[in-house]
Homo-oligomer: A and B are copies of this chain.
Amino acid sequence: MPDNTRDKLLDAAQDLVQRVGANAMSYQHLAEAVGIRKASIHYHFPTKTDLLGTLIERYHKAFMERVSAVRSGGGDGGVRLRAYLDLFSATLRDSDGDKLCACGMLGAEVATLGADAAAALHRFYAANHRVLETLLREGVADGSLAVPGDVAATARVVLAALEGGMLVARTGDQPAERFAQVAQQLLLLVTPRG
């Protein structure tokens, strides 16, 4: 629980972005969540674009810290890929299926975001693509994974399936379970076949 208003605002904004999106999130909602008046928000973030840009960068940084834990965790490539997929599963699981990846939501809304926020989004995806490509390559090297064709292209498929899997899962019943099934099958698709 953060004690400074700025972090509380970012927390509330992230929660709302993940649930309803940036376009459905207002300063009024943030003010109510944090317990200050909406005009006060402008002291911390002059414009909504400033807030969203900061939000994406904070989300990116926090996500990459969890990715670092996965990468330095034990196991072969397959085990670590599974741990990476679990980072995404956790979002749906911890929110009763109500939350998307913040960058997945903002990706849908990218046409209404400022140029800075859009560039920050692009960096988030590029970084995750690099991580996935490395994880896949390591798994292929140690024999725990098998990837036909291009590894970089496969990394894009996995990232796409993770972001899209959350999105699709949320439109039905039991989103967390559905998504877990997608992640499980995704892993199976890059597992060596006997």
Contacts and interface: CB of A to CB of B under 8 A. Distances in A.
Nearest to A16: B111
A154 B21 contact: no
Nearest to A19: B111
A81 to B, nearest CB: 14
Interface stretch (A6-14, A68-76, A100-108, A137-145): A100-108
A98 B112 CA distance: 12
A168 B160 contact: yes
Given A164-B167, A168-B163, A185 B112 contact: no
A66 B100 CA distance: 30
B125 A164 contact: no
A126 B109 CA distance: 24
Contact of A161 (B23, B164, B191): B164
A167 B111 contact: no
- Classify the secondary structure of A's interface with B: helix
Interface string A162-194: 111101111110000010011011101111010
Contacts of A2: none
A142 to B, nearest CB: 19
B125 A189 contact: no
Interface of A: 19-21, 23-24, 98, 100, 104-105, 107-112, 118, 121-122, 125-126, 146, 148-150, 153-154, 156-157, 159-165, 167-172, 178, 181-182, 184-186, 188-191, 193
